[in-house]
Structures are given as structure tokens and as C-alpha cells.
């Protein structure tokens, strides 16, 4: 499904509307993009999973001016928007139209994602996906994902959702905010930070929480050098 349909917006409005939906959106992107500095590769290959309109990719390219950035997205229209935003960096950009769940993941030094991996709906599929990410990363590789992470405990999840609705209440009525969250929950799966960290660890990563403003957070996974 297209991003515009999933979010219930016009694609041209994405960059403005996403801020009304996601608290601390820019701060989260800055933290994920900051993780690209953790690789020691001189000309790192960075893969952006679910590149969207390219807001995260632009930050990654600014942080590592010699990097090659490969953006993967299943929505052709939003890939075109990313190409427009990143037109000054076209020589350092490759775009892949396809699902990160199925397409071959390119060998790389860094993998980043924001608000994209919640589209993987089962723990089994996510675990397999993290194994594929681990294999695609070179030794010393860095994985960073910013997303919503709810709780295993339902009263805590309720508190997290109330925080999320309070942010949306700046732009929408309570009814609209609840309707958006209900509609996204039909397609998205927000694991807890603990479960997500455990899945990354099971795939082989050393895991850190880089940033948390519940219900949003940034998880870091490191693939250690061998020997
Ligand atoms: C909410 S947007 C986030 C975009 C961008 N990373 C940002 O932070 O603004 C989610 C993006 O992930 C893409 N996406 C969702 N599932 C995908 C999949 N299985 N494979 C590739 N892209 C996917 C969507 O098309 C969309 O562009």
C-alpha cells in the first residue's frame, strides 16, 4: 500500500504532516543519522530501509559526505520524492524500488531506518529480517532504527499511547487522533523496546538504546569485528 493511503494524507504533504503525527520527529532522525559516524569505513555504504521522502538519507549524507547511500522503498511515488530531495547528491545515491523484506539487501557498513520497520508484523519475520541485516553488514557494521516501541505491560502501553495522542492533539481533535492510531494499528506492529532489542541480539548484534522519548526510541546494533 502507498504511504499516502496508509497515513491517510496527500504525499505532497508528507514532510509537514509527519511532524504532526510523530513527536520529536527531527530529534529522532538526527540521532539515527548520528549513528553513521560510528563506522570507521572511510567511504561507507549506507542502506536506508524505507527511505520515504529522504529526510533521514539527507542527514546521513550530510554527516558522511563521502558515503554512498542506497535507499530501498516499496512505494515508487515516494522514491521519486526522495530523488527530488536528494538531487544534489545523485552521484552518491542509488534507489531500489522493492520491499526490504524480499529484495536482496546490499553489502554495507551502515543500515538505518526510521518509522519503517514497524511494517514487519510478526516476531518471526522480524527475527529473520534482522538476521538478513546482520549478514548484509560488514564486520564493524552499524544498524540504527528509530521507531515507536510500545510496552509489554498494557497499562504502560496505555500511558505511551496517551503521550502520543497528546502530541497529535496539537493538530487534530481527540477523535481524529484516535482514528489515525486505530487505522495505523491495523497494519503496523510496535514491539516493545525490550523485545526488539532481544530480536537484534538473537540475530548477533550488540545492542544499545541510543535515545528514548517514549513511545519513540532509537536502537543501535553493532556487528563486532571478528578476531
Ligand atoms: C512512515 S514512512 C517513513 C519514511 C522515512 N524513513 C521518514 O522517517 O520520514 C515509512 C516508509 O517505509 C516504506 N516501507 C514500508 N514497508 C516497506 C517494505 N516492506 N519495503 C520497503 N519499504 C517499505 C514506506 O513506503 C514508507 O516510505
The pick from 116, 145, 183, 216 for probing ligand 1's pocket by mutation, whose C-beta has the most ligand atoms within 8 angstroms, reads: 116
How many whole angstroms from its chain centre is CA 42?
Answer: 24
Residue 11: per-residue pLDDT: 79
Residue 227: per-residue pLDDT: 60
Ligand 1: does its nearest atom lie under 6 Å from the Cβ of 109? no
Distance (angstroms) between ligand 1 centre and the Cα of 51 equals 6
Distance, in Å, from the CA atom of 63 to the CA atom of 168, rounded to the nearest integer, reads: 30
Across the range 1-25, mean pLDDT stands at 88
Distance (angstroms) between ligand 1 centre and the Cα of 190 equals 14
How many whole angstroms from its chain centre is CA 74?
Answer: 14
155-175 per-position pLDDT tens digit? 999 999 999 999 999 999 999
pLDDT tier at 5 (50, 70, 90 boundaries)?
confident
Q: Which atom of ligand 1 is nearest to the CA of 72?
A: 21
Distance, in Å, from the CA atom of 133 to the CA atom of 143, rounded to the nearest integer, reads: 8
Cβ–Cβ under 8 Å, residues 98 and 28:
no
- The yes-or-no verdict on residue 7 having pLDDT over 90 is no
The grid cell for 177 is 487522533
57-100 per-position pLDDT tens digit? 999 999 999 999 999 999 999 999 999 999 999 999 999 999 99
Ligand 1: does its nearest atom lie under 6 Å from the Cβ of 216? no
CA distances from 1 to 6, 76, 214, 221 (A): 7, 11, 27, 29
- Considering only 1-10, 35-44, 82-91, 95-104, which range has the smallest mean pLDDT? 1-10
Ligand 1: does its nearest atom lie under 6 Å from the Cβ of 52? yes
Q: Which of 65, 55, 115 is nearest to 86 (CA)?
A: 55
- Considering only 10-19, 52-61, 215-224, which range has the smallest mean pLDDT? 10-19
The grid cell for 143 is 544498524
End-to-end CA distance of the chain: 44
Identify the CATH homologous superfamily for domain 3-222.
Vaccinia Virus protein VP39 (3.40.50.150)
Distance (angstroms) between ligand 1 centre and the Cα of 205 equals 23
Across the range 13-35, mean pLDDT stands at 96
Amino acid at each position: 500500500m502507498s504511504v499516502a493511503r496508509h497515513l491517510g494524507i496527500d504525499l505532497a504533504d508528507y514532510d509537514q504532516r509527519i511532524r504532526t503525527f510523530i513527536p520529536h520527529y527531527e530529534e529522532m532522525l538526527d540521532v539515527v543519522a548520528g549513528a553513521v559516524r560510528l563506522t570507521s569505513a572511510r567511504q561507507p555504504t549506507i542502506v536506508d530501509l524505507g527511505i520515504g521522502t529522504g529526510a533521514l538519507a539527507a542527514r546521513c549524507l550530510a554527516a558522511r559526505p563521502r558515503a554512498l547511500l542506497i535507499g530501498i522503498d516499496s512505494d515508487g511515488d515516494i522514491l521519486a520524492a526522495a530523488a527530488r530531495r536528494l538531487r544534489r547528491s545523485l552521484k552518491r545515491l542509488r534507489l531500489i524500488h522493492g520491499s526490504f523484506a524480499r529484495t536482496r539487501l546490499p553489502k554495507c557498513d551502515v543500515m538505518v531506518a526510521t518509522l519503517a520497520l514497524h511494517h514487519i508484523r510478526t516476531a518471526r519475520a522480524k527475527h529473520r529480517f534482522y538476521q538478513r541485516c546482520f549478514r548484509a553488514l560488514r564486520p564493524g557494521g552499524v544498524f540504527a532504527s528509530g521507531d515507536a516501541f510500545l510496552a509489554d505491560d498494557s497499562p504502560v502501553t496505555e500511558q505511551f499511547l496517551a503521550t502520543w495522542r497528546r502530541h497529535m492533539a496539537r493538530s487534530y481533535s481527540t477523535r481524529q487522533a484516535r482514528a489515525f492510531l486505530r487505522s495505523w494499528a491495523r497494519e503496523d506492529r510496535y514491539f516493545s523496546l525490550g523485545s526488539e532489542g532481544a530480536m537484534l541480539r538473537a540475530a548477533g548484534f550488540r545492542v544499545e538504546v541510543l535515545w528514548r522519548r517514549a513511545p519513540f526510541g532509537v536502537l543501535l546494533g553493532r556487528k563486532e569485528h571478528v578476531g
